[in-house]
Structure 1
Amino acid sequence: MRVPHIYQPSAISLTTPVALDDDAAGHVGRVLRMQVGDKVSIFNGEGGEYLSEIIEVSKKNVVVKPLEFVDHDVESPLKIHLGQGISRGDKMDFTIQKSVELGITEITPIFSQRCGVKLSGDRLAKKHQQWQKIAIAAAEQSGRNVVPVVHPPIDIKEWLEQASDAIKLTLHPRAEHSIKTIQIPSEGVRFLVGPEGGFTDEEINIAKQQDFVDIRLGPRVLRTETAALTVLSALQLQFGDLAN
């Protein structure tokens, strides 16, 4: 049986018992129905993981004892920041989940003119919290020991104007440049994917003013969730996980 990989947002030290937080305890105790003596692997995002033994289980609490530190690193050498136009329904959840599995570093949900999702106040805060939990679960499932940051949603113009030395890309089906023409991105990549309705001409122009380069993936128009994951896969193949 595979040892469950669990995110624990606290300090972790060998032989010092750790009470898992509510989400982790619920998953271990109620979902997986694990018992005292069972093994779990816990990580806090600071690198590596800790093989641990469960020493206490109740309906609400799970306490584990870290036994061994494992310096296990599965992170991509390529830092990638996705600016994703917010999509409807579970498409955004799917994009975040699969982006984490594919090695994304940061994700910023983007409000744009053709974004069909209207969120504000408490609803926006709850949705952001949900997206971060999806990223945590995807990191656990894929064996990552770092949880990518899902930033609070912002307007497209604000994201485009953020300072960065990374290569900047905008995915556009009518772009002149192919992803194959990208030079080695030593400072990482920032790439922008639009919502279901795509970008307006104004948004494309703003992106160009901020040194974003239009790229295309091929002759077909991809759905927003397909586009993000295809770009990620292509970048990892060319410059990241699978480059060597």
Structure 2
Amino acid sequence: MTARFYADLPLAIGDALGLPERAARHVQVLRLQPEDSITLFNSRGGEFEARITRMGRSDVQVVITAHDPIEREAGRAVHLAIGMPANERMDWLVEKASELGAASVTPLMAERSVLRLKGERADKKVAHWQGVAVAACEQCGRNRLPPVHEVATLGDWLAALPPASPAAPRLLLSLRAGTQPLASALALSPAPSPITLLSGPEGGLSRAEEDAAMLRGFVPVSLGDRVLRAETAPLACLVLLTLE
């Protein structure tokens, strides 16, 4: 397998172009040489074979030689809305969610959130997480980059949602007694309908937050009797939803 790189550029067979700074730096680190082949993708469909034509001190020139329309996306689009876990756990969550096929990730601040972000610090974190998603897609073979959306409070995010639709189910991970298993909720949803999955931070969502989500069309679901960590639970759901 040739080295794969994300290039946020228009790509077409025959184009001669310089690689973006990040991709060029990694080509240099790998000690690739002129005439070596690499794979590029731009999240707009398929992947492109490119041949290195020039290695400068800090720039790399290539020519696009072929296009393969292959896609490796999950059969169902799952949009994750996550009460951000603390420390480096969000990095791990974004990386694994990207590998497992999440369609998008929205970082949220809830009542029990330890991690609080706003302004420039939030923007830097989102840019960092988007870079984590890029690296994960380069490694796993995805040609569609899952966007990491701006950090929002749970209340603001819920208020901005469009009206709920049966064609796009909304699921809420909950520890409430009597909550139906995720598998049961899936059996009732149209396949392969897109799904929005809301999961809380450490300690979960409060009762009031769950009630607010349910008023916006979210259906509470459970993964069973065990209490999973804030970064583990949404990934377990993602496996069930995308690798059916």
What is the TM-score with the length of structure 2 in the denominator?
Answer: 0.93
Matched, 1:54 2:68: no
Measure how far apart 1:222 and its partner are: 0.1
Measure how far apart 1:97 and its partner are: 0.5
Deviates more, 1:160-169 or 1:199-208: 160-169
Which of 98, 101, 104 is equivalent to 1:100?
Answer: 98
Deviates more, 1:215-224 or 1:10-19: 10-19
2:117 and 2:130 map into 1 onto residues whose CA distance is 16
CA contact (8 A) 2:4 2:40 kept: yes
CA contact (8 A) 1:107 1:151 kept: yes
Measure how far apart 1:228 and its partner are: 1.0
CA contact (8 A) 1:3 1:41 kept: yes
Q: Which residue pairs with 1:155 in the alignment? A: 153
Q: Which residue pairs with 1:137 in the alignment? A: 135
Where 1:37 maps in the other structure, the secondary structure is coil
Unaligned residue ranges in structure 1 (runs of 5+): 239-244
Q: Which residue pairs with 2:6 in the alignment? A: 7
Which of 184, 187, 205 is equivalent to 2:189?
Answer: 184
1:24 and 1:15 map into 2 onto residues whose CA distance is 19
How many pairs are equivalent? 236
1:100 and 1:62 map into 2 onto residues whose CA distance is 27
CA contact (8 A) 1:173 1:220 kept: no
Measure how far apart 1:184 and its partner are: 3.1
CA contact (8 A) 1:53 1:65 kept: yes
- Share of identical aligned residues, percent? 34
Q: Which residue pairs with 2:109 in the alignment? A: 111
Structure 1 vs Structure 2 CA RMSD: 1.2
Measure how far apart 1:185 and its partner are: 3.7
Measure how far apart 1:218 and its partner are: 1.2
Task: Give structure 1 regions of 4+ aligned residues with deviation exceeding 6 angstroms.
Answer: none
CA contact (8 A) 2:75 2:242 kept: no
Q: Which residue pairs with 1:241 in the alignment? A: none
CA contact (8 A) 1:84 1:195 kept: yes
Q: Which residue pairs with 1:226 in the alignment? A: 232
Unaligned residue ranges in structure 2 (runs of 5+): none
Where 2:27 maps in the other structure, the secondary structure is helix
2:16 and 2:231 map into 1 onto residues whose CA distance is 41
What is the TM-score with the length of structure 1 in the denominator?
Answer: 0.93
1:13 and 1:168 map into 2 onto residues whose CA distance is 38
1:109 and 1:230 map into 2 onto residues whose CA distance is 18
